[in-house]
Structure 1
Amino acid sequence: MDPTQTGTTRTGTGPRPGVGVSGSDRPRLARHVRLTFCRTRQRQTLQLPETVVVLNGSGADILELCDGRHTVAEIVAELGARYRTVPDDEVRQFLTRLVARRYVEISDG
């Protein structure tokens, strides 16, 4: 999944084209997106209208914490506690791509 960056959708502040997520942002799944476990694939998936995105383990772990309450920094810290090393920039890039695709919405912290 490597979408071109067309901008980000942010609640409360309007779009900020070309800007990634910051540590104080609070990501959450967009209203039309559901994180579910697919028994057939034995993996977490994102379900969207007419689309299913199969997630790898780390992507699913990130999105499970995207509830609008956790900041990006808190998500990185939680994953770091679970797995020892979590590259902060990779989590931000992943979330930035999902925001660009409108799978995730961001509110300012």
Structure 2
Amino acid sequence: MIAPADIPYLPRGVRLHFDKVRDNWMLLAPERAIRLDPIGHAILSAIDGEKSFQAITQTLSQTYNAPAEEIEKDSAGFLNALKDRRFLEVRR
């Protein structure tokens, strides 16, 4: 489980990409791809490899005027699923 002080980042070879043909954001990795919804894109766009998970959720909470606890819960689930599939890594 991702902790508030953890720093999520996209590992080498994984990147966000806007697919013009499908008019949608994608998360690309070698021989794998995930189509992102607007929420997934917002979460991944906030990840820069330097901000902690807590700082990211606070930024998203302010940007979208949503409760920080709800953003934290939803983001943690999304990021943990990506981590399990090796689309994301975490520095502690």
TM over 0.5: yes
List runs of 5+ in structure 1 lacking aligned partners.
Answer: 1-19
Question: Does 2:82 correspond to 1:91?
Answer: no
Aligned-partner Cα distance in 1 for 2:57–2:85:
21
Q: Which amino acid aligns with 1:64?
A: S
Q: 2:51 is matched with which residue?
A: 70
Aligned-partner Cα distance in 1 for 2:63–2:47:
16
CA RMSD of superposed structures (Å):
1.1
Aligned-partner Cα distance in 2 for 1:71–1:40:
34
Could you say which structure has the higher helix fraction?
2
Q: 2:84 is matched with which residue?
A: 100
Question: Does 2:18 correspond to 1:37?
Answer: yes
Q: Which amino acid aligns with 2:37?
A: N
**1:44-100 deviation digits (Å, cap 9, x = unpaired):** 111111222110011011111222111111111111111111511111111111111
Counterpart pick for 2:60 among 79, 94, 106: 79
Q: Secondary structure at the match of 1:67?
A: coil
State the TM-score, normalizing by the size of structure 2: 0.89
Q: Secondary structure at the match of 1:52?
A: strand
Aligned-partner Cα distance in 2 for 1:83–1:45:
21
Count of equivalent residues = 89
Q: Secondary structure at the match of 2:33?
A: strand
Q: Which runs of 4+ in 1 moved over 4 A?
A: none
Q: Secondary structure at the match of 1:68?
A: coil
List runs of 5+ in structure 2 lacking aligned partners.
Answer: none
